[in-house]
Amino acid sequence: MGTPYVWGGSTPETGFDCSGYVCWVYNQNGYNVGRTTANGLWQKSQHISEAEAKPGDLVFFKGTYDTPGMSHTGIYLGNGMMVSAGDPIKYANIHSSYWEKHLAGFGRLSNDWRSFMSEKSDKLRAMLEKEKERRIKLNNRIEILERRIQEEDSAEVNEMVRTAKVTPEQLAALLRQSATTTPNPAALAAVGASFEKEENEDEV
């Protein structure tokens, strides 16, 4: 705000005219409208009614100086207000006595800021879905590994029990112990079980 009006200006350093300001704002916010006139922006935009206009759309005027087509443009802010490069850049009511008699229409650029933000949101949603899929696959892998560990532990316990002389009382004690630790030969010995050597059937 307050940047001076300069005919043909298109940067904060040089100053702005109306179309230079609009093009600069739009180009700074994720899309490319190039550098064109108020009438050029009108030709690029989708023409809409004032009732359809939303903040960020464009508002156009005719006859503010002697030129064919649209002669002035600003960025619509809603509630009948706009910001445009006058002398200097400032807010204005489009229904004030001066602007009302020159008001010609409203436009929406096809790649305006809403489309730009929607595209960014779509990309973020796609990234989120991919990460969710990765998390599901990782959780499934973790469950498989946990199940394999449990199966290996159970197989080891079964083998130790099979080769040990375990009474019902000792087995109950072992099961109580296995709730907090993985049974091993020392644990079996701790509950009073003894091991017997498996005889080789091929021995004579």
pLDDT at 199: 44
For residue 146, give both structure tokens.
């946990």
Domain parsing of the chain, residue ranges: 10-110, 116-195
Please tell me whether residue 75 adopts helix, strand or coil conformation: strand
Mean pLDDT along residues 51-75: 95
Report whether pLDDT(198) > 50: no
Taking alpha carbons only, the member of 82, 89, 85 closest to residue 104 is 82
Query: What is the band of 204 on the pLDDT scale with cuts at 50, 70, 90?
Result: very low
**DSSP per-residue string spanning 102-163:** HEEEEEE-TT-HHHHHHHHHHHHHHHHHHHHHHHHHHHHHHHHHHHHHHHHHHHHHHHHHHH
Highest-confidence range of 70-79, 125-134, 147-156, 158-167, by mean pLDDT? 70-79
Please give the CATH topology (third level) of the domain spanning 10-110. Answer: endopeptidase fold (from Nostoc punctiforme) (3.90.1720)
54 or 185: which leads in pLDDT: 54
pLDDT at 119: 61
pLDDT at 112: 47
pLDDT at 201: 43
